Chain A
Amino acid sequence: MSFRSVGRILPTKGFLIRLRERAALLQMGVEALKMKRDQLIRESQELLKQLHARKDIDKKLEEAFSMVKMAYAVAGPQEMRKAALLATPLRIEVRTKSVVGVETPEITTSEFKLAVSPSLNSAVMAAAAKLSEAIREMMPLVNAEARFERIAEALAQTMRKVNALEKIVIPDYTAAIKYVEELLEEEDLEEFLTIKKYRQIKRGE
């Protein structure tokens, strides 16, 4: 008989002890993974609240882009190019934060200023102000979405592991232990009968 998760079965007491130890370890692993899964679910539920801000951010970005369009119409492409020249590009810092062993990104804006010169057209300045405001407000959402993505991925993986352990590996080990126990019991019984027969022969019965 074969057990896919266990591998080759040896009907020995040593093997049985090892099997029992491994089964206990697997059980502890399942418990730990379940704890991790619960924690990840809690984290993702927290993040879900932040993700609801997406609607507002979308609206803000739409407003900012319509302002950019207006600035383009009022100030013209040359003024937009000048604004691009004077803008400090968006610089971000990405650090990683561990949430129950899952590495999630933490993005912070280190430098970002779109309108720095008073000689820019006011429509361009207004568009720049709206756009930078929208981008600044978008950053926590970006963080939340990136974290959510990683956590969701880790959660799916953890759940697959828990299921595999609970439904396949541990039952396999339990069955293997039972099988080895039965084999050893049979062997014990056989040995007992052999000894008994031997004693009878020796006594001349």
Chain B
Amino acid sequence: MSKERYLVVRTHGLMTHLLNPDRIRSWAMIPDWESLFKEISSTEYGVFLEKVDDLRSADKVTDVTLRVLGRRVRTFLEISKGDVVEEATVRYLAKYDVENLKRKIFSLLIRKEGVSEERFLPISGFMVSMDPILRASDVSQICDLLPQGKLRDFISAWLSSGQMNIPLLDIGIDRAYLAETIAWAEMTKMREVFRIYAENYALGVILRSQLTGIGSEFYSPMLEFLSQNVRKALSESSTFEESIKALLSTEAHKSMASELMEVYEKYGVPWTLDLSLFKELYSKIRSLARMKPLSSIFPFSYIVAAEWESWAVRTVVLGKLSGIESEKIYDMLSLY
């Protein structure tokens, strides 16, 4: 059996350990904490939960969901060792390193009390070892710790420019990460998945920039990661509303744009943007994996599914903790 087939078979096995998304959604309707605890305890998450009160701590819940995701990622990386999927997983999950890196840099630049330096995943860094980076006392030290590449080049150029422009740094880090990732993916059979991922990621940065009122001169370099028709639609839009209207005309993002428009009109703010983007990414990769069940895309889709599961469990528990209505939590977790 080839490595690829072996991985597909093993991933099928791993997939059976994932919770059914509908089951997680149904937890939103559980009225009391005891029953919810009983339900969650019977899953893999139960290993990290000792008592009902653990569910009442947002930090604990976040930690538990990330620990389970970390375990799943570790197992997957072990079985995919040496395959292109391993590298694809590492490059995909490097987004968490990018996030941690940003937090560390922001905390050093802004220097405020109560800065969170925890990792998203309780496992070592994917792109770079995070421990020395989290111990760094200034940004130039971080720069030296980064491997040679676009990210390191960008951060050192930003530092030498002397500008303290946080949005520029923020978008620049994302751009460098995406450019490196897509350059690698284009040379592999994972290009299709990574094109979807890069477009989804870039779209998020562009739309969030428009929401925060950041000028197009900052976010326009992200347009290079979009497919031709999406780029064309967005290049003429300067506000969030215009962009969503433009996305409604594209086949690729119609469902997401219509959901966002609905939320935007109802609440005046598109608070579900990240959720919608992630749902779109998960839905697209899942349908691509279904279309090519014996390709490397299927094993890769496991990571995105595991991430969705972790995200959904956290949303149900934190949603209940925040007093959000059950129906709203249920709706939030619907897939396209």
A contact set with B: CB distance below 8 Å: 67, 69-78, 81-82, 84-86, 115-123, 125-127, 129-130
CB neighbours (8 Å) of A130 from chain B are: 268-269
In the complex, what residue of chain B is closest to A69 when comparing beta carbons?
Answer: B322
The answer to whether A82 and B106 touch across the interface, beta carbons within 8 angstroms, is yes
As a 0/1 sequence over residues 164 to 179 of chain B, the CB contacts with chain A under 8 angstroms (1 = contact) are 0011001100100000
User: Known contacts being A69-B324, A122-B272, is A116 close to B212, with CB within 8 Å?
Assistant: yes
CB neighbours (8 Å) of A84 from chain B are: 112, 114
The answer to whether B103 and A69 touch across the interface, beta carbons within 8 angstroms, is no
The answer to whether B318 and A72 touch across the interface, beta carbons within 8 angstroms, is yes
CB neighbours (8 Å) of B58 from chain A are: 72, 76-77
Cα of A118 to Cα of B212 in the assembled complex, Å: 7
CB distance from B279 to the nearest CB of A (A): 12
- The 4 A-B residue pairs with the shortest CB-CB distance, nearest first, are A122-B273, A126-B271, A126-B269, A69-B322
Counting CB contacts under 8 A, is B123 at the interface?
Answer: no
Contact partner, B274, options A67, A82, A121, Cβ 8 Å: A121
CB neighbours (8 Å) of A115 from chain B are: 211-212
Contact partner, A70, options B106, B171, B214, B322, Cβ 8 Å: B322
**Which residues of B3-54 have CB atoms within 8 Å of chain A's CB atoms?**
none
CB distance from B135 to the nearest CB of A (A): 18
CB distance from B228 to the nearest CB of A (A): 23
In the complex, what residue of chain B is closest to A82 when comparing beta carbons?
Answer: B103
The answer to whether B274 and A78 touch across the interface, beta carbons within 8 angstroms, is no
Cα of A78 to Cα of B318 in the assembled complex, Å: 12
29 residue pairs of the A-B complex, CB under 8 angstroms, read A72-B58, A74-B272, A74-B332, A75-B274, A77-B58, A78-B62, A78-B116, A85-B106, A85-B110, A115-B211, A116-B212, A117-B170, A118-B170, A118-B209, A119-B102, A119-B205, A120-B212, A121-B274, A122-B207, A122-B208, A122-B271, A122-B275, A123-B271, A123-B274, A125-B271, A126-B270, A127-B271, A129-B211, A130-B269
CB distance from B276 to the nearest CB of A (A): 8
In the complex, what residue of chain A is closest to B207 when comparing beta carbons?
Answer: A122
In the complex, what residue of chain A is closest to B322 when comparing beta carbons?
Answer: A69
Cα of A117 to Cα of B205 in the assembled complex, Å: 10
As a 0/1 sequence over residues 257 to 276 of chain B, the CB contacts with chain A under 8 angstroms (1 = contact) are 00000000001111111110
In the complex, what residue of chain B is closest to A119 when comparing beta carbons?
Answer: B170
CB distance from B271 to the nearest CB of A (A): 4
CB neighbours (8 Å) of A129 from chain B are: 211, 269
Cα of A74 to Cα of B107 in the assembled complex, Å: 23
Cα of A79 to Cα of B106 in the assembled complex, Å: 13
CB neighbours (8 Å) of B171 from chain A are: 118
CB neighbours (8 Å) of B78 from chain A are: none
CB neighbours (8 Å) of A76 from chain B are: 58, 62, 314, 318
In the complex, what residue of chain B is closest to A115 when comparing beta carbons?
Answer: B212
Counting CB contacts under 8 A, is B59 at the interface?
Answer: yes
User: Known contacts being A76-B314, A117-B166, A130-B269, is A86 close to B110, with CB within 8 Å?
Assistant: yes
Contact partner, B211, options A67, A73, A122, Cβ 8 Å: A122
Cα of A84 to Cα of B113 in the assembled complex, Å: 10
Cα of A150 to Cα of B212 in the assembled complex, Å: 38
CB neighbours (8 Å) of B324 from chain A are: 69-70, 73
Cα of A126 to Cα of B116 in the assembled complex, Å: 21
**Which residues of B143-162 have CB atoms within 8 Å of chain A's CB atoms?**
none
CB distance from B181 to the nearest CB of A (A): 16
CB neighbours (8 Å) of A126 from chain B are: 211, 267, 269-271, 273
Counting CB contacts under 8 A, is B319 at the interface?
Answer: yes
CB distance from A89 to the nearest CB of B (A): 9
